[in-house]
Structure 1
Amino acid sequence: MAPKIGPETMLAEWLLVETVGDVRRRSEDPGARSRYELLGIAPLLRKLLIDASPLLNTVRAARPDVPTDFRIRQWSAPDDSRGDADLPYLLRLGGPELVGGPEDPVLPKLKHFIGARVGLVQGRPLTVSEVVKYYANVEGGVHFGVPKDETDHVLSEMAPVLLGRTTGQVEILAHLGAIVVDALTPLCESILALPLIDKRMHLRNDRGFFDGHWTADHYERSSQGR
């Protein structure tokens, strides 16, 4: 059965384009961002990818042919020639090397991306989903909550020590954000080129925009920013 496409899908398209744009801004030059700015990426990724009804899935229902190719270099332990290479680590996180390029394999399904390995916590793989949920639900991206499992406890024990010293740990959100922006850009472009409209309200003008439609405001802001 084909999914029902209604007014809520039009709203979802607007929200996805705005959210991806916000992730893009926050993920650029992560070393120059404050911890607070970086932390704000977590709820955006949660909304896009991980909530019970992810925004991505809602939008893709109306555009199933648009690819969303997640290119991530899953974390692996670096080569280490030192004698302490086999010592146990409490936590290890990937960095910029996680961001894949055109030559890297594609993870086309969302479930594979959020389950991708981005580090190691107490000897077991740490996934995209775990990192995003921790920063969104425990450290304050959405809620300032109590750690619920061992992963949350490990990450929360390290966070206070790093406050005011480095954003290195939380910068992983910017690297994941860059991957997500790259994967969802074709979907955003598809929406902007041919958005869902209400034919009773939205008429294309001589500039190619739909009068009264949110995309007209988007293009207007974009032209002012140039």
Structure 2
Amino acid sequence: MAPKIGPETMLAEWLFVETVADVRRRSEDPGGRSRYELLGIAPLLRKLLIDARPLLNTVRAVRPEVPTEFRIKQWTAPLVGRDDADLPYLLRLGGPELVGGPEDPALPKLKHFIGATVGQVQGRALTVLEVVKYYANVDGGVHFGVPKDEPDHVLGKVAPLLLGHSTGQIEILAHLGTIVVDALTPLRDSIIASPSIDTRMHRRTDRGLYAGHWTADHYKDVSERR
């Protein structure tokens, strides 16, 4: 049975487009962003991918034909010299090398992407899900809370040491954001080109836009930036 398209669907599509745009903005030039700006990526990714009802799944339900391909180069431990083999690394996180290109294989399923390895904490793999949840739920992206899981405790120990000195660790959110934006852009473009409408309210104008629809404001903003 096809999903029912109603006000919730239209609101979800608007929120999806705006959220993807916000992730894109915050993920550009991560070295030039403040730690606070980068931290703001975490709740956006949580909303899109991880919440009990991820926004991605809500929007994709009425557009199952549009691909969402996550191209990530999963983190692997670097080769070390003999003298470094026994160093007790507390935490390692991937950097810009995580971002895959068109030539790299894609992960078509969301569960595979959020389960992808992006680092290592005390010798065990650290996943996309764990990184996003830590920065959103513990470090202040959404909540400022008490660490519950082992990765949260380790990340919580490292984060205060970096305040005022570096955004190196938290920049991983920008790299994950870039991957997510690339994956969700086809869905975003599909919404802009053919949004869900209420036929009682929205009529096409001579320019092919829907009068009174939020996408009309989107096209207005785009034309003003040109």
Q: What is the TM-score when the length of structure 2 is the normalising length?
A: 0.98
The corresponding residue for 2:67 is 67
For residues 2 and 119 of structure 1, the distance between their equivalents in structure 2, rounded to whole angstroms, comes to 39
The corresponding residue for 1:190 is 190
Deviation at 1:85, TM superposition (A): 3.0
Which ranges in structure 1 are unaligned for 5 or more consecutive residues?
none
For residues 9 and 88 of structure 2, the distance between their equivalents in structure 1, rounded to whole angstroms, comes to 48
The corresponding residue for 1:175 is 175
1:118 and 2:152 equivalent? Answer: no
The corresponding residue for 2:213 is 213
- Maintained 8 Å contact 2:24/2:178: yes
Deviating more after overlay: 121-130 vs 81-90: 81-90
Deviation at 1:53, TM superposition (A): 0.4
SS at match of 1:83: helix
For residues 81 and 157 of structure 1, the distance between their equivalents in structure 2, rounded to whole angstroms, comes to 27
Q: What is the aligned residue count?
A: 226
The corresponding residue for 2:132 is 132
For residues 215 and 115 of structure 1, the distance between their equivalents in structure 2, rounded to whole angstroms, comes to 34
Deviation at 1:78, TM superposition (A): 1.3
- Return the letter of the residue paired with 1:50: I
- Return the letter of the residue paired with 1:47: K
Q: Evaluate the alpha carbon distance shift between residue 94 and residue 203 of structure 1 in structure 2; reply closer, same or farther with a 3 A threshold.
A: same
Q: Percent identical across equivalent pairs?
A: 81
4+ runs deviating over 6 angstroms: none
For residues 24 and 82 of structure 2, the distance between their equivalents in structure 1, rounded to whole angstroms, comes to 38
SS at match of 1:118: strand
- Maintained 8 Å contact 2:16/2:48: yes
Query: For residues 197-223 of structure 1, what are the alpha-carbon distances to aligned partners after superposition, in whole Å with 9 as ceiling and x for unaligned?
Result: 111111111111111000000111111
The corresponding residue for 1:83 is 83
- Maintained 8 Å contact 2:202/2:211: yes
For residues 202 and 27 of structure 1, the distance between their equivalents in structure 2, rounded to whole angstroms, comes to 34
- Return the letter of the residue paired with 2:188: C
- Maintained 8 Å contact 2:91/2:120: yes
1:29 and 2:29 equivalent? Answer: yes
For residues 5 and 210 of structure 1, the distance between their equivalents in structure 2, rounded to whole angstroms, comes to 17
For residues 198 and 92 of structure 1, the distance between their equivalents in structure 2, rounded to whole angstroms, comes to 49
SS at match of 2:168: coil
Deviation at 1:83, TM superposition (A): 1.4
The corresponding residue for 1:199 is 199
For residues 134 and 52 of structure 1, the distance between their equivalents in structure 2, rounded to whole angstroms, comes to 16
Deviation at 1:82, TM superposition (A): 5.2
For residues 24 and 37 of structure 2, the distance between their equivalents in structure 1, rounded to whole angstroms, comes to 12
Deviation at 1:181, TM superposition (A): 0.2
- Return the letter of the residue paired with 2:73: R
- Return the letter of the residue paired with 1:13: E
For residues 101 and 82 of structure 1, the distance between their equivalents in structure 2, rounded to whole angstroms, comes to 33
Query: For residues 17-74 of structure 1, what are the alpha-carbon distances to aligned partners after superposition, in whole Å with 9 as ceiling and x for unaligned?
Result: 0000000000000000000000000000000000000000000000000000000000
- Maintained 8 Å contact 2:6/2:198: no
For residues 4 and 202 of structure 2, the distance between their equivalents in structure 1, rounded to whole angstroms, comes to 20
For residues 80 and 208 of structure 1, the distance between their equivalents in structure 2, rounded to whole angstroms, comes to 59
Deviation at 1:81, TM superposition (A): 2.9
RMSD: 0.9
SS at match of 1:125: strand
Query: For residues 71-110 of structure 1, what are the alpha-carbon distances to aligned partners after superposition, in whole Å with 9 as ceiling and x for unaligned?
Result: 0000001122351134231110000000000111110000
For residues 4 and 197 of structure 1, the distance between their equivalents in structure 2, rounded to whole angstroms, comes to 12
